[in-house]
Structure 1
């Protein structure tokens, strides 16, 4: 386990706990788990908790079967070029590389995701696509493509770890581990399961076809001026019927849903890229920066300029 500074603790625990349980319930070491970092003796999680690590990543005498990375996307990494070179070497000699959440940004910078599919959390999706337009990204729980696994969220980390457990322990132990993990999921995991992505949210057979198609139009044409009446006409339904279906199934009218989609993408670009704010406004369908900023304040409680200023440590995304 390679933990980088300010890593999300819930992602690390979601990945490790199924493996630890498999060891405990099997009464043997099924999985050897070692914690590494760039600069020992420890690394601090995003909650302030200090994790004691066993050694530096550079001190490995041989590469393990799996190298799992947990990190925040926006945290500047000391000695990143050496770390990225080491990860490329590990992949060349046959190690499986696993990234969770924001660590996938670092993995993209190594070049290992070139010509590979990857999973990214929906909260990073627009920023990731802006920064790495040639990488085929999705918002599934996790994606494995030729020994590279990218995990979008803590819930996905648990799912991936449980798949590893299923290949290593007998059926009774496997069922016990799965039972423990399925019954102890956190509220955070539940929220992630429900909110992975706007499109994933509405890809449900129980939803009206018009609602699903409308949201797809919103997502594909976010930079354009969109009138709900025009969308309804394209879908051959009345505007009133479309509005009723949105309220019934998604609890918001389509105009508000569209506005939240615009602002969600805007905030990702504000926080995780250096795209000029007026360009962001136009890219999400606002006629001016002022119009976006007014809605941004109402939605997030601060101006885009303040939000960007408060986000520290994004330089690594542009300095490699």
Structure 2
């Protein structure tokens, strides 16, 4: 499997004031994967707006190349920024990022980097996360951002994490997706990391919870599913990346969870869709697309089968519940009572 994996070129765009810990936590797992896997799977390059020394918040620095030389020289560009984004925010900088996206470069944000990508208009229709200090600022700018309070989020060709050690978890997820669970676990152990955290802890507990008795390949497979709710994996891909045969993975899912692999995958996607319907203003069609459904009618059918009502009905119920929870104006009382009666 690993011999067939092409080299991934990953660039780090460093904005002065970035947290060294956040960047190092992203770099070291990739370096370790090359070392422990015995091949240069990941080629790393460092960039900044003006080249030279990109200074971290602690005063340390990393030598960089100019952002302007980039076109399609990287497969993934991760923007790392701290809490102070003022110096990085300019039209030329945003234009360069948009140009890279137009050339097909996958983009990601570490800590405040996700906020810069959002302000550049590059996180539209994408779920993403940022360091908690940027949440209120982004929510004030637009209610159209699909922000999630998670340690990291991978949505198609957009990667984002909250910074700190969350960078490590996101890179381990990337290694797992590219090279398999065995190498990702080896890297995690080598870095003395107590365990790879899933991007979607609440969703993962839907199946695993505190159950530590499940087979390691089941845990690895569920983690992969949670990180790929929009860009779907096949059963063979999941099994390969989890380090077992498809037949063995099916047996372990049946014995440990009582469901098939792909049924579990469908449940994860539907619960994510339900969360998006309840917590965001995404159109139903966009929710379907963001959870891997290309056919909206099929999405509505399987959603209704799972929850007992349609996605549109879920959205209406959520709005009604929100109205009931809101403290009503006395003049609204009769109208709200009517809503409750019809509910």
Q: Which TM bucket (shorter chain)?
A: 0.5 to 0.7
Which residue of 2 is the match for residue 47 of structure 1?
58
Which residue of 1 is the match for residue 74 of structure 2?
64
**Per-residue CA distance 1:217-260 (angstroms, 9 max, x = gap):** xxx9xxxxxxxxxxxxxxxxxxxxxxxxxxxxxxxxxxxxxxxx
C-alpha displacement of 1:78: 5.1
Are 2:184 and 1:174 aligned? Answer: yes
Which residue of 2 is the match for residue 23 of structure 1?
34
Which residue of 1 is the match for residue 174 of structure 2?
164
Q: Distance in 2 between matches of 1:136 and 1:62?
A: 27
- Residue of structure 2 aligned with 1:108, choices 115, 118, 121: 118
Q: Specify every segment of 5 or more residues in structure 1 that has no aligned partner in the other structure, as ranges.
A: 194-198, 207-219, 221-320
Are 2:158 and 1:148 aligned? Answer: yes
Residues 15 and 88, structure 2, Cα contact 8 Å, conserved in 1: no
Secondary structure, aligned partner of 1:89: helix
Normalised to the residue count of structure 2, the TM-score between the two structures is: 0.51
Residues 107 and 113, structure 1, Cα contact 8 Å, conserved in 2: yes
Which residue of 1 is the match for residue 85 of structure 2?
75
C-alpha displacement of 1:153: 2.5
Q: Superposition pairs for residues 251-266 of structure 1, below 5 Å? A: none
Q: Specify every segment of 5 or more residues in structure 2 that has no aligned partner in the other structure, as ranges.
A: 1-11, 211-278, 280-343
Residues 117 and 137, structure 1, Cα contact 8 Å, conserved in 2: yes
Normalised to the residue count of structure 1, the TM-score between the two structures is: 0.54
Residues 18 and 161, structure 1, Cα contact 8 Å, conserved in 2: yes
Q: Distance in 1 between matches of 2:128 and 2:185?
A: 29
C-alpha displacement of 1:170: 6.0
CA RMSD of aligned residues (A): 3.2
C-alpha displacement of 1:75: 3.0
